[in-house]
Structure 1
Amino acid sequence: MLSKGDPSNRLDSKAPLQNSAPTVTSSPSIHEHNLDGVSPGCEQPREGPFMSGWRKHVLTFGMWIALFLSTLETTIVSTSLVSITNTLNGFNLRDWVVTAYLITYTGFLVIYAKLGDVFGRKTMYLLGLGIFIIFSCLCGASTNIVELIIFRAFQGMGASGIYCMTIVIAPTLVPKAEFGRYIAIVSTVFALASILGPLLGGVVSANGSWRWVFFLNGPAGGLAFFLLAWLLPGSDKNNQNPQQPLLALLRSKVTSSNLSRVDFAGAVLLLASSMLLVFSLESGGTRYPWSSPTVISTLVLSFVTGALFFIWERSKWVKEPVFSPRLLKGRLMPAMLASSFFIGFPFTAIVVNIPQSLQAVYGYSPQKAGIALLPLLLLSPVATAVSGYLTSSRNIPPVYVILVGSVFQLIGVGLTCLLPTLPIKGADDAHVPASQYGFEAIMGIGFGSTLSTILTLAPLVVDSTDLPVMMGALTQVRVLGGTISLAVCSTLLNNHVESRLPSLLDPSRVTEISESLSAIQNLPSEEQIAVRSIYAEGYNKQNILLTAFSGIAFISCLLLWERPPRRPTSTPAEVASKS
């Protein structure tokens, strides 16, 4: 149990946390890592005090609510996009409603992890949750598509803090041997949000105003904020006087010594690189030609700022880098980052694109489209729970589970390329082929087995000093992969549709369809089938691309292989043998 009087056990402490990963006797230098990227000082962690009892359960519940709300926003919008853009007349900007959220959600993950070390994890958690609640309400009050996109970007900034701080704090709540099972329980948030998101989005859109997709975050987020403010321990020095006024507490956080630890230049370069990359991919071939100066310049600037970020992080002027260069030493840690990126690439695009394709190709309602995604969304949490059981209770090496999951992902995504590109029946009674549900189930097993298990592997590879930033980095590259995939897939679809529709319809009808998919229903039956077939061909191109990246994900996962593999309960001798 966490002792109330022992500040060394505070979750918000800036000192390295006990029992979250193998401990180190001193901070390792860049040259003190072997080829697998593990510090030689690593030794098996001692069993120590952990938060338990009702306080732990209520705190976990508060964290679960906050994480659920922030994750729900990435899926609930997928089946609400058509209704939202129909109201705000911005179907051609539909993907920016998702992408704007994911850009900031992605860009701030590692930054939050580092700022948590500087200003305290409780402070950053509550800050992120507060931003999320405020801008969720503003999203619901939006009067045009541009306002909504801007508010979604700030909403994503807050959600990034929720996600990052939850992942960083989770390893400190249970012993390392139980972390696989605990992270599987926490990961039910993602599974449940994936299941309920499209369904709730469809129900809200069909039976009420889409604005409640965002307004619901207000009261639920307020409850989570209260529970976290009450039970989440604060940093050591600031808890000596828990009754001090809020302004005094903030002043004690924002000191010159703390500010000097913040790598502002690195944070700006990281954000610039991520945002410019997604902007160029989202805009190319849609709002601007690929050869336009806007797309070329932003793409080049993205790579330049990315290169400058890594150069700057290695420079002698950085006191505490946002992302320490030693995390890229060896083989395992870069392999984990690559695996997270390429696994996340298909996942986000598939969850968003399947409901959209069912509405565009088969004329499904948002609610029906969400229900059709259930095979993927139901099998994913089952696979996650089984993975947690295997790694924790059965002491199965996480790399085994990751490899099997990547094979299922590759097979499931690859089979979607076999789906027909023509509706078999008429425009009024077209239906999804039964085989698609089987393909979704296979994909669900693959995604559920890989996404959370990579996080289970991280504490076995990374020392406790670097674990928070590494957990944030694994999450950031996964979400970045999904964000890029949305941009690329949107470009593929838009380019295909815009090149084919003008040969079938007059310009006014093409414009109507670009602004709202519901305009397809106003076409004569034969034209409806022709237009829906064009959309089906575009989504098939997306599936081919996602299959290629699933293949790269499998290759990346192979790089995690080692003999003998790491287990959650490896003995000190086994840990030392890898050092």
Structure 2
Amino acid sequence: MTKATNRKVVTLGLLASLFVGALDTTVVSTAMPSISAELSGLSLISWVFSIYTLTTCVAAPIFGKLSDLFGRRAVFTAGLILFVLGSILSGASQTMPQLIWFRALQGLGAGALTPVTFTIIGDLYPGEQRAKMQGVFASVWSIAGLLGPLVGGYFVDHISWRWIFYMNLPIGIAAFICVFGFLHEQFVKKAKQIDFTGAALFTVGITSLLYALLNGGHAHAWSSSLILSLFAVSVVFILLFLYTETRVKEPMLPLSLFRNRMLNVPYMINFFGFCVTAGVMIYMPMWIQTVLGHNATSSGFTLVPMTIAWPIASNLTGRYMFRLGTRAFVISGAVIVALGSLWLATINTSSPYIYIIGILIVLGFGMGCLTTPSMVIIQNAVEWQMRGVATSTSSFMNTLGQTVGVAFFGTLFNSAVTNSTPAQLATGMHWVFIAIFIISLPLLSVIGLLPSQRKAVQTKQQAS
């Protein structure tokens, strides 16, 4: 007889795993000055972050599909082991190249942890409970964002930067015990056909694309032979990947996901939404420091209003979306984000600090209204055997949106700033803020494509 899943214990384990993954980015950012000083690799700092983003983005859809084939528990456990192992090795790094390679391993693990965690939540909690739990889990990112600078600063000042990685071990062990020991799945075990060709083509194509986006315009000119070659490679391999996915019996990324409006509309919403937030998160602290004259510590906490408003909106949405309708919250979120972006585009060098706080609250609240119903719509639109890859594709679109946003805004900013005078910096950031508003506009057009709830059942049948 199959054991019953202890939902509460598993949920605690999932919260712990998501927390360490979310905490990782802000903690590492805080510790980077100490890390670069000890490992003597100042010129390689950007790679510590870029390689993690790259491997996470590539791994997410692959692990999502594997969770559909082999079950959530096995894939979650594999991802957790990779993440913890990468953390331990990162903490033991003696050179910057070693740290970069170990961060790549850590990113592979994170590529499984986040999407599979949300997939398991989708499995454990039905209907309205699922929406509430998605809101709760969204709060983890906010808490991690607030605690990251404090935790990172404490370890750097009083112990060692290495413990920002070592601390993942005990939390990882606790998460492993909770999930592996208390999650019991029931699914039919049969011979599986893994799409190795599709996975390989996807990895090469997306890796080339992300490398070009992450390094074009600063490490290498957009017109350089390396960047152009990478874009050419990405186009060729992505086209080969798409062709392969139409031929294999068990595709790594079923293209039917992108023919289903109940899925592809939330994917587009996530892409544009996270593209907007990427620009805000990079250039808003810069505006605070260079234009308003605040110190680095103050600018580092600039995003706190957004990180508080986001989970508040996520929780409220999770509680009321089934009473008022998911489409109503998606529309409201898109409108709020567009209005916040418009407000952002109107600020100038004389705008008071309180304007910045208000803008971040509006944008955070709008994104909270968008992300929770988008995830619930995606998970409600597919059956169990497709939920993993559908959820992980959403995570992939989030990261891709952030990466494209960083590349686009960075190119725009650099083209406007020929020297680092305060006036030019302000002009460059103002152009970025206008671009953020322009990119927020597709959200308003995309939401009009979202099917009504009456069509949800029909759409779900098409997806499965």
The normalised TM-score by structure 1 is 0.72
**CA spacing shift, 1:124–1:185, aligned 2, 3 Å:** same
Residue in structure 1 matched with residue 90 of structure 2 by the alignment: 139
Say if 2:9 and 2:179, in contact at 8 Å, map to a contact too: no
Partner deviation per Cα, 1:489-516 (whole Å, 9 max, x = no partner) = 344445555x314xxxxxxxxxxxxxxx
Residues 1:159 and 2:110 aligned together = yes
**CA spacing shift, 1:148–1:353, aligned 2, 3 Å:** farther
Write the letter of the residue equivalent to 1:6. T
Say if 2:83 and 2:106, in contact at 8 Å, map to a contact too: yes
Residues 1:264 and 2:196 aligned together = yes
Residue in structure 1 matched with residue 133 of structure 2 by the alignment: 182
Write the letter of the residue equivalent to 1:377. T
Give distance in 2, aligned partners of 1:550 and 1:95.
27
Write the letter of the residue equivalent to 1:119. F
Give distance in 2, aligned partners of 1:574 and 1:299.
34
What secondary structure, in the 3-state scheme, does the structure 1 residue paired with 2:220 have? coil
Give distance in 1, aligned partners of 2:426 and 2:101.
31
**CA spacing shift, 1:206–1:108, aligned 2, 3 Å:** same
- Between the two proteins, what is the percent identity of the paired residues? 28
Residues 1:130 and 2:81 aligned together = yes
Give structure 1 stretches of 5+ with no counterpart.
Answer: 10-50, 239-254, 425-430, 502-529, 567-571
Which stretch of structure 1 is more off in the superposition, 72-81 or 221-230?
72-81
Give distance in 2, aligned partners of 1:535 and 1:89.
29
**CA spacing shift, 1:478–1:493, aligned 2, 3 Å:** same
Residues 1:555 and 2:445 aligned together = yes
Write the letter of the residue equivalent to 2:93. S
1:206 deviation in Å? 6.1
Residue in structure 2 matched with residue 283 of structure 1 by the alignment: 215
Residue in structure 2 matched with residue 320 of structure 1 by the alignment: 250
Say if 2:69 and 2:385, in contact at 8 Å, map to a contact too: no
Give distance in 2, aligned partners of 1:493 and 1:94.
21
Residues 1:193 and 2:144 aligned together = yes
**CA spacing shift, 1:565–1:377, aligned 2, 3 Å:** farther
The normalised TM-score by structure 2 is 0.89
1:388 deviation in Å? 0.4
Selected match of 1:6 from 2, 15, 37: 2
**CA spacing shift, 1:226–1:351, aligned 2, 3 Å:** farther
Say if 2:382 and 2:460, in contact at 8 Å, map to a contact too: no
Say if 1:83 and 1:205, in contact at 8 Å, map to a contact too: yes
Give distance in 1, aligned partners of 2:317 and 2:23.
22
Partner deviation per Cα, 1:13-52 (whole Å, 9 max, x = no partner) = xxxxxxxxxxxxxxxxxxxxxxxxxxxxxxxxxxxxxx4x
Give distance in 1, aligned partners of 2:90 and 2:10.
28
Give distance in 1, aligned partners of 2:414 and 2:104.
23
Selected match of 1:213 from 138, 142, 164: 164
Partner deviation per Cα, 1:421-475 (whole Å, 9 max, x = no partner) = 5xx7xxxxxx972211111100110111111210111233334432221111112
Residues 1:298 and 2:230 aligned together = yes
Write the letter of the residue equivalent to 2:178. L
Residues 1:413 and 2:341 aligned together = yes
1:65 deviation in Å? 0.3
Say if 1:346 and 1:485, in contact at 8 Å, map to a contact too: yes
Give distance in 2, aligned partners of 1:377 and 1:58.
27
**CA spacing shift, 1:405–1:95, aligned 2, 3 Å:** farther
1:10-29 alignment, distance < 5 Å: none
Give distance in 2, aligned partners of 1:373 and 1:401.
23
1:29-428 alignment, distance < 5 Å: 51=5, 55-81=6-32, 84-85=35-36, 93-201=44-152, 204=155, 209-233=160-184, 257-258=191-192, 261-315=193-247, 318-355=248-285, 358-359=288-289, 367-392=297-322, 395-421=323-349
1:262 deviation in Å? 0.8
Say if 1:79 and 1:355, in contact at 8 Å, map to a contact too: no
1:312 deviation in Å? 0.9
Give distance in 1, aligned partners of 2:160 and 2:282.
20
1:227 deviation in Å? 2.1
Q: Select the structure of larger CA radius of gyration.
A: 1
Supply the RMSD in Å over aligned alpha carbons.
Answer: 3.2
Say if 1:72 and 1:193, in contact at 8 Å, map to a contact too: yes
Which stretch of structure 1 is more off in the superposition, 464-473 or 535-544?
535-544
Say if 1:409 and 1:447, in contact at 8 Å, map to a contact too: yes
Give structure 2 stretches of 5+ with no counterpart.
Answer: none
What secondary structure, in the 3-state scheme, does the structure 2 residue paired with 1:108 have? helix
Write the letter of the residue equivalent to 2:256. R
Number of aligned positions between the proteins: 464
Say if 1:99 and 1:483, in contact at 8 Å, map to a contact too: no
Give distance in 1, aligned partners of 2:69 and 2:379.
21
Partner deviation per Cα, 1:124-177 (whole Å, 9 max, x = no partner) = 111111111111122233344433333222211101111121111112212224
Say if 1:181 and 1:388, in contact at 8 Å, map to a contact too: yes
Give distance in 2, aligned partners of 1:91 and 1:541.
29
Give distance in 2, aligned partners of 1:231 and 1:199.
32
**CA spacing shift, 1:548–1:141, aligned 2, 3 Å:** farther
What secondary structure, in the 3-state scheme, does the structure 2 residue paired with 1:58 have? helix
Say if 2:287 and 2:426, in contact at 8 Å, map to a contact too: yes
1:507-526 alignment, distance < 5 Å: none
Which stretch of structure 1 is more off in the superposition, 209-218 or 396-405?
209-218
1:380 deviation in Å? 0.8
1:208 deviation in Å? 5.9
Say if 1:201 and 1:367, in contact at 8 Å, map to a contact too: no
